[in-house]
Structure 1
């Protein structure tokens, strides 16, 4: 290989080139951080240079370069570098046809001028890339000095070295585009750069905005916006484009065309109509798949996994976020002993000392298999708070799907069951017969019964009574020692006489005169009838409700045997009657004089009476109606004091004047109460003391009429009091109620009942003590009268003896009403009763 023949000024040129390159490096290093975008004019000028450099970098120009270099590098040296990385070729712009370098002064001056012009442009790019680009110009100024091969080796080594990481990033980042490499964006990004050699960086192709891109450039031709499309129905166009030109309405076929299109084109169902452009748009396969998945209620994303495990980002060790609430400082109580924990520990220590807690108690091994014949499977006792629920009543034969014939209702029983109140029915269903169990229909009241059962379990209080076990050998020992009813005779047991009223009218009340000869009855037709007790003959009759048929609510004979006087209560009026035609003239005269004495008696001063006393008309006086007393409200009861001069009336709707006390000798009426505490139902005089019993719906109050004070309040514990009576000795009271209870009060014991009896099936209407015999009864709407023996001892340490004796049956229940009232005979152990069936009965022993 021939050595290079440099010019005379080659050393100077090389030195000047080295200086210029060093100055360029300093400029480029200073301007590296202030890289600016490349103007379009510079990019176009650099594209030609890049094409030239790219041509020199290709491997097919290596041989040509070696031949034109005029022996600069021998072929063997290039052959050795073929296995290595490709070396950037040197651009020999000044090569002549014969392959030798031409280094004249003019050319050097021109190159220096060009270099000076390019200083400003090259200062904007990295210094390493600029040095590589100037490699050709530096080689032009090289000489054949001894240092030339050494410098050439240095250039080759520097050009063949791999780029550093910073250079790779600069070359791969589109922001740092070299000024000369104007074709960078037009080439593939994986292509090796002209300035960097090394590992290829995978750069994706440029994103072309399309339909599925976020930067889609697809535009809608119709620019009418949100204007309704029906505004253009009468126009040949459907809107305007971006240039303001009309968009003509596309051709639209009729229904026949749609039908033919659906038959001929199998894919016509995949298109939808664009209302804005008024043409059919065909859906893609991806859109159809999304529609199918949405129709099946599936997720449109095929890669979505609804069952993938949850990633707990803030749960686990060292994952909790330190927040103001959770990251607060530890309180002081965390560092001092707890008083409550000390108490709990001491409680456990005491339990261990007392033996209630056994630490390290040996475990009892349970058998692996269950022994069916063993006795160790007894249920364990529940805790102290456990209380078993009351069991349901077991079904009887009447609840069978095929009950016997005697349990089935006939027409009368069915009608009576339907008319009865639900609380008065024995059973809450009608028995029915079915041929087989599978034909039994659904029970309509099943849900209601279950609901009532749940209410009972939830709301009804329960109490578990722990009674000691009794060593009972004979069950008869549990029964009370009561005398036999045969030893307690006489008491009423049979019906001897009937007092039959006309037309079967309802009889509300009755009364027996003190002699026991006459029985007076009052009915709903407003008539008062006087019957001969032992014969059953109607001896006298008054019609007190002639015009409006007012019912007679109450009757009571005067207890004074010197007067034959009967008080009758009709709506708003109390009548004093005397049967003049059936009594002796002397008794009749004494009765009339005692009644009319009040009209002639002078009072001490002006008095205000709560009632108005008046003589009856002469015609009424001839019939035995002596005096009429007008009272406020509708009186429902009248009762006499034992001396026969005072009688009381009760009108529940009269307010503060519900209770009035009338004096026969002076014809005066007074109201003992300024206001009433509740609705007053009944009153009764104490047989010995000047006391008055006043019964409201739920309480009985005892008042002292002389001291005008309240003495005692009895609490029967019933819902609605219907009647009451006082024992002849005055220390015991019996009370009847509409909730089927008979209550016995011993006033010396307590305000609570001494005994409560529930033997009737319906409401109790009347109760009474016998004034001569140790007997009392209770009459009810179930049509029965129950007779009891009652012995009251003078010894306060002995409780009264109550023995049930007889149940008298005979009255017919009419419209759910049975026996309305009954009274004892004053001298015999007889009972006279009246009822809603219109018949009065005398029950004898």
Structure 2
């Protein structure tokens, strides 16, 4: 099915896709295209072409048409090449390979007509374009012959064929049926080749014999030995050679010992999986013509004819009738090779194209592809072998009768015995066992009533345009005498359409007899073959019937309702009685155990003892070396506990008699007896469970895209470890702090460093204000919290920021607050510096951007303070905190919710009501290192220094919903994405893990957690890896900060 879909897509693309660039003037195009047989595709592609100049002459119009045909052919070839992996079997593969070769030759031929370095006349162009046109039909015939698909047949007449037909019509080369000759030979035949054709005993370069008396045993080896530079004559002795030859060299000539003696037979056919184009027994594949044998030598087939013997009465050598220039003949022979199919173009009237009536030769050479043309009629029958016979003159007259009636005048090409016109198709049909309807009809009048020719002397016209005269009909007496003289005359039937008698073969006669008896036409047909259920395959995706469901299936049945009412009335009247359930006897054991069963066990009380373990390879007297422990392994055994040591150490002995007594034999037997006597035996019920069923069914990672999986950009500039990163709310900028005391602002998409601030102490944490109108930055440096103006906003925003950062009359602070915090102006960078009594480890902004929390890990109960930027005021927590704080978070949706993580637990407070912890989350971790909250506010992830990460569903329980053990070292930070269902963790092991975490609005459905990607991009420095990770606020991108002083951006 996939192959059909790709064929349809390819054909659709070739027909309808075109450039959208405006092209030539529509009126000008229409005037020129009306002169072509296919004006619609001509107008369409010219109007969509990029040309703008008007078309002035017919030669210019021809060049443009050839260029259009070349562009469409290249496009068709490129799409054909992509269909190979979609072929499901050898037949589809064979048809596709032939089409790929033919499209390649088509492009080459069209290119050849446009090449300025090649001398190309109008006749040459007509020949090469005819080759290209015939190749497209050969491609179509391959699909028809192999029965690959029937859905592509309406689409096979694509615009490539139409455009090439247009170019042939524009070229306007008259058809010449009488090529020039010189001394009985075509004018392009060289003098050396004439001598070779006239010689009765040519000199052989190689001899092939089955009995080994020659140079080679096979024809293929002899052909391979040819150099291709000069004429190479191969003499094939008497015998049957089962070979399929593809002659890819030039100037090769084969000659044999005569009819019925030298036979070449092959086995390729359409029934065997080959196309007609690829099924020839002998297939020349070169570009240059190589002349064949003498006048008394020819090639023919028994199953499928290649060419017929045509010798003149004067015993003159017969050569090709159509004589053109050397280049024309080469290309016409190439056309004969490329168009090896029974397509609609075989023998058509296109000027310059080569058909079977134009080529009669007794020469078998490396360019004669007639064998391939004439074998197509029988390929649809079966896979019978093709047999080629090499005929040679042996001094006898055995072939006189066979050649009778086939004498041809080499000068005028007319038969001298008065029979019909001698075309290759007719003679091939006489020698072939293929059916008559597979050969092109002699009469070309089409579907015309023969009554129109009732009063005429002819019945139609042949392929060359000559009249077909009527034959004299026999009277009844002549028919009777003919039946008496010829026992096979009853097989002959009269074909009034072609005005000839057709003799039925034995097989056809048997077929007609079986049909008259009411039997199957073929004797090998089995009418009682086993039934094949075609409609129970796993790959069936369509219903057997797609008819709409009737309405009666969607409404209650009134007949069923009547039947139910009938049963109800019968039950009420007592006509239908039900059996009453039997009451179980209320009897039980008075003094028995309630759990004891009153039924006897089905199993025996005796349980057989477990069997002894069978000895393995290591207990052999001469085990392999891999079982012999080394000295180091023996020393390791001594360090083990006695119960963990192996009870037997393998050793090697030269023979069985060298084995000493086993010292532990008595002890092991005694232990076995103790186990059997003292140890109780219990039957254990084992359940066979498929391990795959225990695994959770997770969706595919392809369905969870987008997510970051590859490094897109690196930000380099810091000289020390990058300890913290923070993107702004727009996603255009990212701030980073480093241990080298610098704070930098980078442009995300380009990696350009915009600003740098230098401090004397290492930067511990940076946090960007979440409001887009206030692009300010909070930086934690030692005991100082510095509020910096990034100067990235508009002028109005900068005025607001300067007023906000200007310290005027500070409000009075509590004594307890004034003892730990003091507000000072930052004279260096023009911001605010908030001095704390301990080093600051973590900073977090409120979603509204006015409040800011600072964490001092060594501050104990005073370790968390909240600053209000608009009031220039600091507050302590109104509740008592237990444990050393690690990090804090403001709830994203609830204004008063505040989350504090200590080293062991996580507590949630309500600052508005000044209550104690309203919820305590028990992590069970050794030491918490980081924390992040889902944008929805109901889920929380906590990272620890033991490499574990816990997911809490705060609406579900105070214990972790999932605990993930991913990193072998400490987790440094965890993060949630604002809009995408993604969360990540980074660790000291220089890796970052990306997860899919989807939270459902339905409270009855648990969150979905799927691991997606492991990002390994940073290197370890001073035993430290990735120190921080943050998601881009709008894109599924991840920023990671490493101890290697590099910031990396990972994209999808």
Q: Do they superpose with TM above 0.5? A: no
The alignment's TM-score, normalised by the length of structure 2, stands at 0.36
TM-score normalised by L of structure 1 = 0.45
- Higher alpha-carbon Rg: 1
